Structure 1
Amino acid sequence: MRIHYLRNATLLIEWNNKKILVDPMLGVKDSLDPVPNAANSIRNPMTDLPLDDDALKQLLSSLDAILVTHRHRDHWDVTAQAILPKSIPLFCQPEDEAVIREQAFTQVIPVVTSVNWENIEITRTGGQHGTGEIGKMMAPVSGFVLKEGNTTLYIAGDTIWCEDVVAALDTFRPGYVVVNAGAAQFLQGDPITMTAADVIKTIRHATQPKVIAVHMGAINHCFLSREALREAVAAEQLSAIIPEQGEWISLS
């Protein structure tokens, strides 16, 4: 298995000759309005994809499935809705099924608990996209666990460190964990994605797995940088994979 980290939370997972695109945000730099009620008004995405047009077309034509953790526009943008192939399997949380079908996708598969696809078991997990009233407003969100044989990958989705994450780690004991960092935050309230402290808690709790931290450097309300996260993790004498855009991650 290997993962091609594209941008924000957008990943290409290659697993036993299958290609799964996770949380596609495929628009060009500056194609989306800023996230409102944030500390700046920078347009999104703040970076381009690490693919030229031909490479993107080749990628889209080679896909076997799409996985959307939730429909916030930095995970499912208008460009993705327009250019992704409409007839391949698309896995999502049940709350998003109807809208995605209205967007002309014909093989939408809501994951209530778990489904089996091409010998890969896909199980939905919970998450908490912030605290208090903001957390309620940002809901619902989901994570997903992909398992085949002895290999298990947990994609936590847009969540802070919470009991849902603890439960997923304890229940599935994944070998690899993808967390959405960035410490995204509005002018009011606490962060709505993982802070450096949250990532460190994940690493400490998941002593065996490799933790891969993404969701940084592309959206205007994400204030935790890759560099700052690397420094925070190193200061605790811990390790994590914090990829740059376009980087390939090989997982044994």
Structure 2
Amino acid sequence: MIDRNHGIGQMNRRQVLALGTGALAASMTAAVGLPTGRALAADSVNTLTQVRNATLRVNYGGVRFLIDPLLADKGAYSGFEGSANSELRNPLVSLPMPIERIVDVDAVIVTHLHSDHWDDAAKTGLRKSMVIFAQNDEDAAQIKQQGFTDVRVLTETTEFNGVRLAKTAGQHGTDEALKAMPSLGQVCGIAFSHPSAKTLYVAGDTIWNRHVEEAIARHRPGVIVLNAGKAVMTGFAPIIMGEADVLAVHKAAPKATLVASHMEAINHCILSRADLRAFSEREGFASSLLIPADGESLSI
């Protein structure tokens, strides 16, 4: 029996076809508990693995990236105060694979320093010589203070081992939410480009706004990852994307494949995978939307 935490049990026929032979084999390998690691890093295969929450492993252009690592055990942290379901402890679910496999990468990208994107377990579990990309000088300085020795600041023209990494802007909530909660702070996304792959745009912790619209227009991504858990702070509109935001992205990039991430792992994310899937079916864009389970790999 295949473990549903690895996503194979939840894949429909469309998702299986979207994976492609190589990535599907990698997902099935993970599902039965066999090592994936280097198998996912073949130069000829560009893959995206949904680890948990916003944590992604991206093998792109022959380079292995880890994005926004949240590596703690299930229930290690208190829920976010003043948010939906704050009585629940984070993360809500366990990691779908060993940490050793997750951190076997060439570089880490930290879109911002909130604890569900860069946690204490990541700070101790990653080797201190790891290449870390931060969104700005302030975040880079904090990461350096945590003992990391090769911390680099993303720009719109960053390159790493032949892969171009273009920082994109975002907004972590409405103007009202940002004014009331300055701790939401600055966030970023990343557009990956390489001759061997479609442009990949990871939007990060943002709602739909002009920054996302401009990034889509500028980079024309073929694949767009959206943090779509609809995280809610009490008394405010969601601070990351929900159903309406995902639909807005689809309308702005109707030919792109959308991938929903940052779901069902943190207390204040109130949108389930099932509800987002049902919404996409009602609105007629289900064929453009993939909603991977934790541990599931997609060909990009």
Matches within 5 A, 1:197-212: 197-212=244-259
> Mind listing any 5+ residue stretches in structure 2 that lack a counterpart?
1-45
Structure 1 SS opposite 2:233: coil
Q: Distance in 2 between matches of 1:193 and 1:118?
A: 31
Structure 2 SS opposite 1:201: helix
Matches within 5 A, 1:133-152: 133-136=176-179, 137=182, 138-149=184-195, 151-152=198-199
Instruction: State the partner residue of 1:46.
Output: 92
Query: Percent of aligned pairs with the same residue?
Result: 39
Matched, 1:2 2:31: no
Q: Could you tell me which of 188, 211, 234 is aligned with 1:164?
A: 211
Post-superposition CA distance 1:98-137 (Å, at most 9, x none): 0000011111111133211111111111101001242242
Asked if the contact 2:79/2:88 (under 8 Å) is kept, the reply is yes
Post-superposition CA distance 1:181-208 (Å, at most 9, x none): 1110111111000010100111111112
Instruction: State the partner residue of 2:292.
Output: 243
Asked if the contact 2:63/2:163 (under 8 Å) is kept, the reply is no
Instruction: State the partner residue of 1:12.
Output: 57
Q: Distance in 2 between matches of 1:144 and 1:117?
A: 13
CA RMSD across the alignment:
1.2
- Which residue type is aligned with residue 155 of structure 2? V
Instruction: State the partner residue of 2:24.
Output: none
Q: Distance in 2 between matches of 1:69 and 1:218?
A: 18
Q: Which protein is bigger by CA-based radius of gyration? A: 2
Q: Could you tell me which of 44, 68, 73 is aligned with 2:115?
A: 73
In the TM superposition, what is the alpha-carbon distance from 1:58 to its structure 2 partner? Answer: 3.7
Tell me which protein shows more helix as a share of its residues: 2
In the TM superposition, what is the alpha-carbon distance from 1:88 to its structure 2 partner? Answer: 2.0
Structure 2 SS opposite 1:105: coil
- Which residue type is aligned with residue 100 of structure 1? I
In the TM superposition, what is the alpha-carbon distance from 1:250 to its structure 2 partner? Answer: 1.1
Instruction: State the partner residue of 2:77.
Output: 32
Q: Distance in 1 between matches of 2:139 and 2:154?
A: 10
Instruction: State the partner residue of 2:127.
Output: 85
In the TM superposition, what is the alpha-carbon distance from 1:92 to its structure 2 partner? Answer: 1.2
Q: Distance in 1 between matches of 2:134 and 2:191?
A: 12
Structure 2 SS opposite 1:151: strand
Instruction: State the partner residue of 2:22.
Output: none
Asked if the contact 2:156/2:166 (under 8 Å) is kept, the reply is yes
Structure 2 SS opposite 1:82: helix
> Mind listing any 5+ residue stretches in structure 1 that lack a counterpart?
none
TM-score, normalised to structure 1, is 0.95
Matches within 5 A, 1:195-234: 195-234=242-281
Q: Which moved more, 1:190-199 or 1:107-116?
A: 107-116
Instruction: State the partner residue of 2:30.
Output: none
- Which residue type is aligned with residue 94 of structure 2? D
Matched, 1:23 2:72: no
Structure 1 SS opposite 2:165: strand
In the TM superposition, what is the alpha-carbon distance from 1:85 to its structure 2 partner? Answer: 1.4
Q: Could you tell me which of 142, 145, 168 is aligned with 1:99?
A: 142
Matches within 5 A, 1:116-195: 116-136=159-179, 137=182, 138-149=184-195, 151-195=198-242
Structure 2 SS opposite 1:243: coil
Structure 1 SS opposite 2:280: helix
Instruction: State the partner residue of 2:8.
Output: none
- Which residue type is aligned with residue 269 of structure 2? C
Asked if the contact 2:84/2:270 (under 8 Å) is kept, the reply is no
- Which residue type is aligned with residue 57 of structure 2? L
